Structure 1
Amino acid sequence: MRSWRNRWLWTVLVSIIWLCTIAVLYLYLTRRESPRIRNAVHELLWWTDDLHWNYDEMRHCGFDTCRVTNNHKRLHEARAILFYGSNMKVDEFPMPRSGRHLWGLLHEESPRNVPFVPYTEFLRHFNYTSTFSRYSDLPLTTQYLPHPSDLTQLDYQSTFLNKQRHQFNEQLASVVFLQTDCNTMSGREDYVRELMKHIQVDSYGSCLHNRDLPEQLQNDYLNNLYSDALLRFLSPYKFMIAIENGVCEDYITEKFWRPLMAGIIPIYFGSPSIRNWQPQNQSAIYIDEFPNASALAAHLQQVGGNESAYNAYLGHKFNRRQPIQNPLLVNHLLMRGYQMRRSGELSNEDSLFHKFECLMCRRAAWTDQRRPANKRHYNCPLPPVYAPLEQQKEPKYAADWRSMMGVGRCQAQLLDAFWRANIPYTKAEFDARLSEMMEQNKCN
C-alpha cells in the first residue's frame, strides 16, 4: 500500500512539474519580442529633458519586453509615461492625459529642487513610484551604499591609536566636515558653525572652509564620492559630520554610508528613520539626541578620548562574526535590484533607469490598475525640519525654505486642479493662476 501511494505521489509531482514547464515555455514563446508581435509590445515614453539624445531601445524584463523611447511624438502609442523627478517643470506634463496612460515617477532627491513633490495632491496622479521611501514600488533607500561588503571591509580602517597619532603628528581635528552647499533646508551650515565654537572641526569643502584638500582631491571629489584616495584621506578622523540637506523618511545619502565605509563614526542628522537602517544598534552619534551643539561637543570629546567607548560604534568593522546585525538592512541589500559601483555610477544593466523601466514594463503588461500613489511614497515631513540650534534659534534661511515649500503646496494643488480637469495649459496660464491663489491665500 505504501509503495503504491509513493508511486502515485511521484506521478502527481512529475505531472505538476511538467505542466509548470509547459506554462513557462508558453509564456516565454508568446510574450517574447518577434516581428510578428512587434506591434503588441508596450511602449514606455520618458517625458524628461534629461535624455538629450535619441533614446529608443527594446527593454527585456524577464518574460516581458517593452519599447522605451524619449520621442514625444510617440505619446499616443505609449502605454506608460515615465518622469524623472529632479528637473520636473510644472508646465511640462502631457495634457490631456489618455485613460490608458500609466504614470511612473523616478525621484531620488529631497524636495529642495522640486518643492511640489511631497504633497498628496501631486503624488496621487502617479500610479507607480521609485523613490528613497521604503514604501515606493522600487525603493532606493540604500542606493548610496555601493555594496554591502563596503561596510565590513577593513581596507580603510585605522585603529584608535593610529587616529590619535594622526591628530598629534598632523595636527588634525577629531571631526571632519566636507560640504560645498551652504544653504540647506536642514540648517546644516548653521549647526556646524555653532559646533565649531565648542570643538575643532576640519572643514575641507567650500562651506565653512578652513583647511585645504590634497591637490589630487580638489578637482573632482564631488563626482568620486567613494574613491580610494578620498576614503584613505578621511580615515584618520574619528568623527565625520553627516547632515543631510533635507529631512525625509528613508532619505539617506553618502553622508551616512561614507564614514561607515571609512571606519569613522558619523555625526548624523536627517532621516527620522535612520536607526532602522544602521548596521548595528550603535553605529552613529545622532544630533537629535542632544539639545544643542555644546552638548554634542562634550559627548564627542568623551567618546573621542576613550578607546573602548569609541570602538563600541564600530561593530560593523570589528565584529567579524556578525558585522551587520540589522535584519531589515540585510534583507533590503539582498533584495534590491540595482548595484552601484564605487565611483557612484551604476552599470548599464543594473542602472536605476533600467530597473525602473522594467518595473513599468511589467505593470504595463500585466495590469490595468490605475491605483494612486500617496504621501508615503515620498514621505517628507512638512514644514521643513532642521538641526537644533542653541537658544532655539532658527537657521539663517529657515523662513526662505518654509516659503518655498508653501509655494510648492500651491503648485501641487494647482496641478491637481488642472490634471483633474484634464485640459492642456501653458506656463503663463499656470503662473497667473498660481499668483492669484497665493495672493488670496487659497492654498491650504
Structure 2
Amino acid sequence: MRLWRKRQLMILTVCFLWLWSVALIYWYVVNREKDDIRDGVPLLLWWTNDVTWPYNELRRCGARTCHVTNNHKKLQEARGILFYGSNLKTFDYPLPRRRAHQWGLLHEESPRNVPFVPYTEFLQHFNYTSTFSRHSNLPLTTQYLPYASDLSSMDFFRSFEDKQVLQFNDQIGSVVFLQTDCNTMSGREDYVQELMQYIQVDSYGGCLHNRDLPAKLQNDYLNNLYSDELLRFLSPYKFMIAIENGVCEDYITEKYWRPLIAGIIPIYFGSPSIRDWEPHLNSAVYVADFANASALAAHLHFLDENATAYDTYRSHKLNRANPIANSMLLQHLLTRRYHTEPQKAELSLFHKFECLMCEYASFTPQSQSANEKHYSCPLPPAYAPLQQRKKPKYASDWRSMMNVGRCQAQLLDKFLRANRSFTSADFQKELKRMVQQELCD
C-alpha cells in the first residue's frame, strides 16, 4: 500500500512538472513573440502621438509579421518610423536619423491644418506615403465611399416626380447645403452666399444657417455622415452643395459621394481630377464649368424643371445593367486594401498603413523618396469662381498661411538634412528670421 502511494505521488509530481514546463515554455514563446524583435521581426514605431496609451501590437500582414509600438525608447531598434499627418509638429522628429530608418507618412486630410506638407522640401524626407493621391504608395482616393454597391443602391432613391411633390408639399428648395465650417481655403461659403441670390438654398449646418435639422439629427450628424436617417432626410432634394474645404488632386471626400449615394446631384468643386473618378460622365454639376454662381443657377433652374435632363446625371442609379461605367473607379474599389467601417479594425487605414510599412521595412532598403505627386495641391490655394472676379473673404489669410507653410517646409528641410535634434525654440527663431527677411518666396 505504501509503495502504491509513493508511485501515485511520483506520478502526480511528474505530471505537475510537465504541466509547469509546458506553461513556462508557452509564456516564453508568447512574450518573446510580442516583445522581442531580436528574432528578426521588424519593429515599426509610431512617432506622432496618435494614441495616449501604450501601443504594443504584433501586426500580421499575410506572410509577414511586424512588431508595432509607440514607445519612443525603441527608436534605435526600429526599421520603420510612422507619422500621422494631422499630428505632425514642426519640431518633433526622431533625429539623428539612422540609415536603416524608413519614414512613412499617413495623411488623408487637406493641408489646412498642416500647411508645410504639400511642399517637396518636406515630402522628400519620407520614403513612403498613404494619402488621397493616386500616386501615393497606399492611395486613399475613395476612402469616403464605403462600397461600390452604395452608388447603385436604391435604398434612398426618389424619382424626379417624387422630389417635385415633396419640394412643393414640404416647402423646401431644390438645393441643400450642410456644412459647419465657414472659413475654407476653397471659398465655399462665399460661393454659396452668391448662389443664394439666384436660387433657394436650404442651409442646415452652422454655415449660412437658414433652416433647422430635425431634432434627432442635430446633435451628432457630423459623426454619422452616412446614417440612414440623414440620407433619408436629404433624399428629397435635387441638388446638394459639394464643395471641398481645400483643392487638391484626388482629394475627394464624403461631400461628393454622399449625394451620389442618396440619389442627389452634387454641385461639386474641389479635386481638379474629379472626372477621373465619377461613376458615369456627368455624374455631377461642376462649379468650374460656369463663370459664376449666376450662370450655374440658370443651369440648375433648367434641370429643376426637366426630368429627362435631370436623370441623365443619375445613370449610376438608373442604368441597372451598368451602374459604374468608369473602369478605373471600379478597379480601385475592387482592389483597395482598406475599409472605412470602424467595426472592421483589421481593415482600417491605420492597420493597412502599418502593413504597408511592414512590407517595405522587411525587405526593402531606403531607396525612394516621396514627391509633390504624393500630395498635390495647387498653390496658391484655388477657390470657387466669384462674380466680378472677387476674392473670397479669407483668401489672403489662406494664401499667407500657405506661404508660411512653404517657409516651414524649407526650414524643416534644412534641419532634417543637418540630422541633428532641434527644439521648438530653435525652429521658431529661425522661421521668424526667414519670414522677416522674405526668404521664403
Do the two structures share a fold, i.e. TM-score over 0.5? Answer: yes
Quick one: distance in 2 between partners of 1:413 and 1:283? 40
Question: Is the contact made by 1:175 and 1:202 (CA closer than 8 Å) also made in structure 2?
Answer: yes
TM-score (normalised: structure 1):
0.91
Q: Which amino acid aligns with 1:385?
A: A
Moved more, 365-374 or 290-299: 365-374
Matched, 1:411 2:385: no
Q: How far did residue 370 of structure 1 move?
A: 2.9
Over aligned residue pairs, what C-alpha RMSD do you find?
A: 1.3
Deviation digits for residues 148-189 of structure 1 (CA, Å, limit 9, x no counterpart): 110000000001011001110000100000000000000000
Q: How far did residue 34 of structure 1 move?
A: 9.4
Matched, 1:348 2:345: yes
Matched, 1:375 2:378: no
**SS of residue matched to 2:356:** helix
Q: Which amino acid aligns with 1:381?
A: P
Quick one: distance in 2 between partners of 1:109 and 1:219? 24
Distance 1:34 1:267, change over 3 A: closer
Question: Unaligned regions of 5+ residues in structure 2, if any?
Answer: 1-32
Q: Please name the residue that 2:123 is paired with.
A: 123
Matched, 1:192 2:192: yes
Q: Any residues of structure 2 matched to 1:229-248 within 5 Å, and which?
A: 229-248=229-248
Q: How far did residue 74 of structure 1 move?
A: 0.7
Matched, 1:102 2:102: yes
- How many positions carry a matched residue from both structures? 410
Percent identity of paired positions between Structure 1 and Structure 2: 68
Q: Which amino acid aligns with 1:418?
A: F
Q: Please name the residue that 1:143 is paired with.
A: 143
**SS of residue matched to 1:357:** helix
Q: How far did residue 36 of structure 1 move?
A: 9.8
Question: Unaligned regions of 5+ residues in structure 1, if any?
Answer: 1-32
**SS of residue matched to 1:39:** coil
Quick one: distance in 2 between partners of 1:397 and 1:208? 16
Quick one: distance in 2 between partners of 1:241 and 1:190? 13
Distance 1:36 1:262, change over 3 A: closer
Q: Any residues of structure 2 matched to 1:322-361 within 5 Å, and which?
A: 322-341=322-341, 345=342, 347-361=344-358
**SS of residue matched to 2:39:** helix
Q: Please name the residue that 1:14 is paired with.
A: none
Q: Any residues of structure 2 matched to 1:150-161 within 5 Å, and which?
A: 150-161=150-161
**SS of residue matched to 2:129:** strand
Distance 1:157 1:333, change over 3 A: same
Q: Please name the residue that 1:435 is paired with.
A: 432
Q: Which amino acid aligns with 1:425?
A: F
Q: Please name the residue that 1:13 is paired with.
A: none
Question: Is the contact made by 2:37 and 2:67 (CA closer than 8 Å) also made in structure 1?
Answer: no
**SS of residue matched to 1:103:** strand
Q: How far did residue 38 of structure 1 move?
A: 5.3
Q: How far did residue 369 of structure 1 move?
A: 3.0
Question: Is the contact made by 1:346 and 1:352 (CA closer than 8 Å) also made in structure 2?
Answer: no
Q: Please name the residue that 2:383 is paired with.
A: 386
Q: Please name the residue that 2:317 is paired with.
A: 317
Question: Is the contact made by 1:147 and 1:340 (CA closer than 8 Å) also made in structure 2?
Answer: no
Deviation digits for residues 208-233 of structure 1 (CA, Å, limit 9, x no counterpart): 00000000000000000100000000
Deviation digits for residues 26-70 of structure 1 (CA, Å, limit 9, x no counterpart): xxxxxxx69997531100000111211111000011111100000
Q: Please name the residue that 1:3 is paired with.
A: none
Question: Is the contact made by 1:339 and 1:346 (CA closer than 8 Å) also made in structure 2?
Answer: no
**SS of residue matched to 1:81:** strand
Instruction: State the structure with more CA Rg.
Output: 2
Distance 1:346 1:288, change over 3 A: farther
